[in-house]
Amino acid sequence: MPTQPERRHSERVPLIRTCPYELSTIHGTETVDLSQGHAFSINVSGQGMLLLMSQAPKTKQLLEVRAPSTTGEQSKLKVAEVRWTSQIQADDEGTMHLVGVRFLFEAPASA
What is the rounded CA–CA span in Å between residue 51 and residue 16?
Answer: 9
Residue 95 sits in which domain range?
13-106
pLDDT tens, residue order, the chain (111 aa):
555 455 556 788 888 899 999 998 777 777 777 889 999 999 999 899 999 999 899 999 999 999 887 777 778 899 999 999 999 987 777 899 999 999 999 877 664
What is the rounded CA–CA span in Å between residue 79 and residue 63?
Answer: 6
Flag whether 7 is in a domain.
Answer: no
What's residue 9's pLDDT?
62
Flag whether 81 is in a domain.
Answer: yes
* Cβ-Cβ contacts under 8 Å for 102 (sequence gap 6 or more): 47, 48, 80, 81, 83
Q: What is the CATH number of the domain that holds 95?
A: 2.40.10.220
